[in-house]
Amino acid sequence: MEIRRAPFRLKLINPFGIARSTRTHSDIVLTRIGEGWGESSPSKFYNEDPDTVMETIGKIAGMDLPDPDCVEDVADIIDARIQANGSAKAAVDIALHDRLASRLGVPLYKLFGRNPDKKMVTSFTIGIDTVDEMMRKVDEAKNCAILKIKLGKDLEQDLTVMREIRKAVGNKTVRVDANGGWSLEQARTALPVMADLGVEYVEQPLAKGSHEQLRELKKSSPLPIFVDEDSMVNADLPKLAGAVDGINIKLMKSGGLVEARRMVATARAFGFQVMLGCMIESNVAITAAAHLAPHCDYLDLDGNLLISNDPFTGSTCEPDGTIHLPSTPGLGVAVRPEYKQDLASLL
């Protein structure tokens, strides 16, 4: 299969901090299969970087693969031959979906069978920083209807900043994500405070792999508990029964839309709520996820709102976070004229 690919550096508007790191840019790999666009946004935490992505996509390009229209067959064969490497697989899967829906002349969401007219609102993420700087970012995001606050680096600061944020934003919807930064004891201190402050739910309170502790925490938790780092692929979900209320699906963890759709189905069978998230991504991967948004309960698709140099048009986002899908065939993404030279090798 011919897969054209090129690295690209996304620049963040503000330095972006989470419990385990802070960054100023994000290196992605863009792909093209026929007319289809794809994207990988690799994460060191999941043992990927642009080099491993380029290498893995090279391996996939060298495989004897079935009809590329049969996206599920292709995904199954790639998964059988290559372990992990979710974001590299996503770059192929997204491009194949764009290619297929473009060839059929329909927007991708129609292949997935749900109407995108229901209101879809993404949260806007506030990264970890000093309390003053986080409050400045909260103020800057005053038009956003839903905020997601990154916590988990310092419990005292977490509690302080959340009290300040609640004072500043009135009754706005606020979610928190500890990125696995709390111990069980710290989570037991934090969650009742978060509940008193009217936080909607908490994402990944404990370190990845702490399933038994999550079960303990959930027994007395005053808030719904979601996991992100613990819900990579479909096979992870049965192990979470009784330990969580919801899961965060990301294309860069699942390996793309085929596996993400399987995860939605499995989550429903276990009674989990479904959140759809993202990494720092251009509008290629954000729009791909947005086509799946009508199937999910909560959206966190702000990865492209945090960058200053998104080369693509596609899904659009109103100031309050309301997402609109393109109605053109495929993903509906296109290169902005000012980036055509940078991406010439893919055009």
| Chain positions contacting Mg ion, by CB under 5 A | 177, 203, 228
Beta carbon nearer to Mg ion, 52 or 248: 248
For residue 248, the minimal CB distance to Mg ion (Å) is 6
Beta carbon nearer to Mg ion, 228 or 302: 228
Question: CA-CA distances (angstroms) from residue 60 to 42, 74, 159?
Answer: 16, 10, 46
Beta carbon nearer to Mg ion, 277 or 332: 277
CA–CA gap between residue 94 and residue 101 (Å, rounded): 11
For residue 148, the minimal CB distance to Mg ion (Å) is 8
298: closest CA among 344, 340, 248?
A: 248
Of all helices (H) and strands (E), which one includes residue 324?
strand 323-324
323: closest CA among 93, 146, 152?
A: 146
For residue 179, the minimal CB distance to Mg ion (Å) is 6
For residue 335, the minimal CB distance to Mg ion (Å) is 29
For residue 91, the minimal CB distance to Mg ion (Å) is 21
Q: Which residue is nearest to Mg ion (CB)?
A: 228
- Tokens encoding 338: 């000012």
State the residue for tokens 């060298």. 62
Beta carbon nearer to Mg ion, 43 or 313: 43
Beta carbon nearer to Mg ion, 33 or 249: 249
Beta carbon nearer to Mg ion, 186 or 309: 186
Beta carbon nearer to Mg ion, 129 or 300: 300
50: closest CA among 72, 25, 73?
A: 25
For residue 1, the minimal CB distance to Mg ion (Å) is 32
Beta carbon nearer to Mg ion, 129 or 203: 203
For residue 198, the minimal CB distance to Mg ion (Å) is 20
Helix axis angle, 131-140 to 155-169, nearest 10° = 30
For residue 33, the minimal CB distance to Mg ion (Å) is 29
Beta carbon nearer to Mg ion, 95 or 141: 141
Amino acid code (one letter) for 72: E
Q: Contact 50/63 with Cβ under 8 angstroms?
A: no
Query: DSSP secondary structure string, 67-114?
Result: -TT-HHHHHHHHHHHS-S-HHHHHHHHHHHHHHHHHHHTSBHHHHHT-
For residue 204, the minimal CB distance to Mg ion (Å) is 5
The three-state secondary structure class of 264 is helix
CA–CA gap between residue 74 and residue 94 (Å, rounded): 12
Beta carbon nearer to Mg ion, 129 or 228: 228
CA–CA gap between residue 14 and residue 24 (Å, rounded): 7
CA–CA gap between residue 49 and residue 212 (Å, rounded): 31
CA–CA gap between residue 244 and residue 259 (Å, rounded): 20
CA–CA gap between residue 179 and residue 181 (Å, rounded): 5
For residue 150, the minimal CB distance to Mg ion (Å) is 8
